[in-house]
Structures are given as C-alpha cells and as structure tokens.
Amino acid sequence: MNLLRALDVSVQGKIINKLMRLQKEFDLTYLFITHDLSLMRNVATRIAIMYLGKIAEIASA
C-alpha cells in the first residue's frame, strides 16, 4: 500500500523532504514500494521494476 498516495501533494513533498534530510544526516537507506515512478525519479538513486513478484529490471534513477 502506498501510504503517500492519499495525501495532498504538498504534504507528500514535505514528508519526502523530511525523509531525504534524515537520509543524508544519518546515512540511511530506504526501500520505497510505489507505482508513482515520477516521484521516485526525483528521490531514488536506483529503481527496480518488478513483474509477477520478481525484479525484472534495475536502473539508475
């Protein structure tokens, strides 16, 4: 379930920005599971595409 999906776009942005600040501060790694590739293009360094429950492709964001 994509928990950010139901939120207003401005709220989504605030949450993502907070997560990215924490990631830099504490050298964290996140795993996002989403259908929103446009969001992940701006957040991720690598993206994996799954098909039928298996990773079909991995690419740089």
* Ordered per-residue pLDDT tens for the chain, 61 residues: 467 777 888 888 898 899 999 999 999 999 988 888 887 888 889 999 999 999 999 999 8
Does the predicted TM-score (pTM) go above 0.75?
no
Task: Mention every residue, 6+ apart, whose C-beta is less than 8 A from residue 50.
Answer: 56
Q: What is the 3-state secondary structure (H, E, C) of the chain?
A: CCCCCCCCHHHHHHHHHHHHHHHHHHCCCCCCCCCCHHHHHHHCCEEEEEECCEEEEEEEC
Position of tokens 């991720």?
A: 44
Rounded CA-CA distance 32/3 in Å is 10
